Amino acid sequence: MKSVLITGCSSGFGMLAAVTLAKNGFRVFASMRNLAKRDRLDEALAKAGAQAELLALDVTSAESIDAALRAVIERAGRVDALVNNAGAAIGGFVEDVSLDEYRRLMDTNFFGTVALTKAVLPHMRRQRSGRIVNLSSIGGRVANPGLSAYVASKFAVEGFSESLALEADLFGVRVVLIEPGTFKTEIFESNKEMAAASRDPASPYFAVTQALEKKVDALVARHGADPQQVADVILTALTVPKPRLRYLVGTDAKLQAAIHTIGGFAVQNWVTGKLLGMSEIRPLLAERTDQASA
């Protein structure tokens, strides 16, 4: 039974991946920062008739990473796969996102991925085998307004993973990037976070942010797909003999990637503007800017 350590399993992609992999013969070590939030995972495992071993793991803490990985090695004797799923998002226009907010997001989404990967690599190198799956996003390829912090963190994960893939291949370890599009998960619903300044009526972007947030929420409600698709692709990445480096998941992700590749930034800008109603939003920004100047 192959062992897999998964981060961010209290909800969303991580929870579904834990259940899916457990149902398909993996020994799953499902981790989350706060074990008090394990109820949904416990219920999902029970419903599926599957089992997983739960661990407390904060990817921003070196001590927490060491303790969790030590537990996996002590119990399973090896770590065959790592799924770096833990992540967060902060919305807001660049001027409204503080440097502390940028750093906090990078600490979780990028440095957390790097830290856990570095902890696991020596074990996989000695085994001469392993799989590392990093949850990125279509936002790791294609940017959108109001998401610069999130997009920057995922672009960083993409570059890190591609370089790592070239190195890890030397000792039989495969690296995979999963790039989901729009899915109905907690990151877009109950856990959605905006930069503090974005909620301040004094911000020149206040009205624009509110309008854009409504547009994005409507798109997610209308087009957000079933997140089980992502869990199924993670299973594929861990079981096929030769996984690809990148897996785009979701129709919108594939469409955005194609537009970006074929049409370039100008076409991407036009399509994004149409989808998000930027022609309606732009006058709001102009109005606030004029007021600020006066």
**What confidence tens digit (pLDDT) does each residue in 130-184 have?**
999 999 999 999 998 899 999 999 999 999 999 999 999 999 999 999 999 988 7
- Residue 78 phi/psi, 5-degree rounding, is -165, 165
pLDDT in tens, 220-276: 777 667 899 999 999 999 999 999 999 999 999 999 999 999 999 889 888 887 777
Q: What pTM was estimated for this model as a whole?
A: 0.91
pLDDT in tens, 2-60: 999 999 999 999 999 999 999 999 999 999 999 999 999 999 999 999 999 999 999 99
**Residue 226, helix vs strand vs coil:** coil
Q: Residue type for 8, please? A: G
pLDDT for residue 293: 43
Q: Which residue has the higher pLDDT, 183 or 124?
A: 124
Please list the helix, strand and coil fractions of the chain in percent, rounded to the nearest 5, in that order: 60, 15, 25
pLDDT for residue 294: 44
- How many residues are given for the chain? 294
Closest to 186 (Cα-Cα) out of 1, 67, 22, 8? 8
| Straight-line distance from the first to the last Cα atom of the chain, in angstroms, rounded to the nearest whole number | 68
For residue 63, is pLDDT > 90?
A: yes
Catalytic residue numbers, as ranges: 150
- CATH code (residue 118): 3.40.50.720
d(CA 241, CA 229): 20
d(CA 134, CA 113): 8
Measured torsion, CA atoms of residues 90, 95, 96, 98, in degrees rounded to the nearest 10:
70
- Residue 260 covered by a domain: no
- Residue 280 covered by a domain: no
pLDDT for residue 222: 74
- Residue 172 covered by a domain: yes
- Residue 213 covered by a domain: no
For range 83-97, the mean pLDDT = 95
Q: Which residue has the higher pLDDT, 94 or 289?
A: 94
For range 76-85, the mean pLDDT = 98
Domain count of the fold of the chain: 1
- Residue 255 covered by a domain: no
- Residue 285 covered by a domain: no
d(CA 115, CA 184): 28
How many CB atoms lie under 10 A from the CB of residue 47? 9
For range 97-121, the mean pLDDT = 98
Distances (CA, A) of 66 to 2, 120, 136, 274: 20, 10, 23, 47
**Residue 182, helix vs strand vs coil:** coil
d(CA 248, CA 140): 11
- Residue 214 covered by a domain: no
Task: Please report which confidence band the pLDDT of residue 288 belongs to, taking 50, 70 and 90 as the band edges.
Answer: low
Task: Please report which confidence band the pLDDT of residue 287 belongs to, taking 50, 70 and 90 as the band edges.
Answer: low
- Map tokens 């407390």 to a residue: 56
- Residue 62 covered by a domain: yes
Task: Please report which confidence band the pLDDT of residue 286 belongs to, taking 50, 70 and 90 as the band edges.
Answer: low
- Residue 145 phi/psi, 5-degree rounding, is -65, 145
Question: Domain residues for 72?
Answer: 3-203+225-250
